[in-house]
Amino acid sequence: MGDSVNFGSLHKVCTLVVFLGFVHLLCIFIYYVKTLDIQYLSMRFQNIQSRVQTGAEWTATSAPYREPDPPVTKHSALSSPVDNSSKLDMCPDQPPDLEGPMVIEVSQTLSLDIIRAKNPELLEGGRYKPKSCISLQKVAIIIPFRHRDEHLKFWLYYVHPVLQRQQLDYGLYIINQDGEGTFNRAKLLNIGYAEAVKEYEYECFVFSDVDLIPMDDRNIYKCSSQPRHLSVAVDKFGFRLPYAQIFGGVSALTKEQYLKINGFSNNYWGWGGEDDDVYNRLISKGMSVVRPNSEVGKFRMIRHKRDENNEPNPQRFDRIAHTKETMDKDGVNSLVYQVVRVEKDKLYTKITVDVGKP
Ligand code: BGN
């Protein structure tokens, strides 16, 4: 009888101990959950997810070129000492100071000092943004270049004031091919893109030949919802579009449009075809080309003799016949080059590059 009483109380004590143990564990668990930073965890989770996505995009091609981290915007370089940009309105769709048709004279002698004096609001590297409003787009203007200093002076003299009247937040990049090897225009344009995005959060890229001067400032150097061809009526072609698919001369692509087509081909050495290849890329990705009318789209081409080491490329016909098959492997994801020199002037950023050989 006494034994059974002892066993009964022992059972009660054990039940109590187990119960207290359970309550203790429950308290620890509740405390742990309360101290967790749920927001931090969800951020970490999103971060991991987005890295997996971007990684897949780039590693699939084992590309030497990588999209850089977003540049740290150096506000001090572009704003007045007291940054009042938060109080500014967006610039209007139609900039108020445009002049319309312009007279372009390419016979006078110009010096860089005269051009610098004419553009006092430019900042180091050929950068500008309006003081009175927030630009609608941040635009990188990219010019492929070699031995065309006289043409560049006319371009700077005429186009810088136009871009400022157009109220653009812009930077000018002259991509100079080093050495005397065969010229590669499209690869220089890819390099311009890759170098510009390292410096600023450009949203739009205008690719321009150095010898093309707009004759009407209503032809705004910015991007549209579809890729834009700006040089539609060049004097050399009788102010007419030479053929419906032309995309050379001056054209504008948003960052998204450019990346969708994997940039431009790096394999067009010598003159011709690289712009037709870009057109094929755009069409194959379901985009179309938009243009201003032939009044607004007038351009003067500065006359020149054929450049040395830029002979018509005999491979261009074959290459443009195979754009669709090659474009995913040949473009900004396979871009390899060496920067030889970077010069920052008030009028431009000039980047001399080694593009290699065919
Ligand atoms: C085309 C060139 C373009 C050039 C325009 C204008 C070719 C490819 C073979 C048909 N295309 O003939 O690259 O921009 O002329 O000069 O040569």
Domain ranges of the chain: 2-54, 89-303+312-354
Q: Could you say which of 169, 195, 275, 330 is catalytic?
A: 275
- Residue of 208, 264, 276 to test ligand 1 pocket, by largest number of atoms within 8 Å of CB: 276
pLDDT value, residue 87: 87
Reply yes or no on whether 275 is catalytic.
yes
Reply yes or no on whether 37 is catalytic.
no
Q: Considering only the top CATH level, what class is 89-303+312-354?
A: alpha beta
- Phi, psi dihedrals of residue 124, rounded to the nearest 5°: -45, 135
Render each residue's pLDDT in the chain as its tens digit; 358 residues. Answer: 344 556 677 778 768 877 777 777 775 566 544 433 333 333 333 333 333 232 222 222 234 566 677 665 443 333 444 456 678 999 999 999 999 999 999 988 999 999 999 999 999 999 999 999 999 999 999 999 999 999 999 999 999 999 999 999 999 999 999 999 999 999 999 999 999 999 999 999 999 999 999 999 999 999 999 999 999 999 999 999 999 999 999 999 999 999 999 999 999 999 999 999 999 999 999 999 999 999 999 999 998 878 899 999 999 999 999 999 999 999 999 999 999 999 999 999 999 999 999 9
* Alpha carbon distance 150, 156 (integer Å): 10
Separation of 267 CA from ligand 1 center, angstroms?
Answer: 15
Looking at the chain, list the stretches that DSSP marks H as alpha helix, in order from N- to C-terminal side. 2-35, 38-59, 75-78, 112-118, 149-165, 185-199, 255-260, 274-284, 316-320, 323-326
* Alpha carbon distance 325, 308 (integer Å): 31
Rg (CA), the chain: 30
Cα–chain center distance at 64: 18
Closest among 44, 51, 133, 53 to 94, alpha carbons compared? 133
**Is the shortest distance between the CB of 127 and ligand 1 below 6 Å?**
no
Q: Answer for the pair 165, 97: CB distance below 8 angstroms, yes or no.
A: yes
Cα–chain center distance at 274: 19
Please indicate, yes or no, whether the overall pTM of this predicted structure exceeds 0.85.
Answer: no
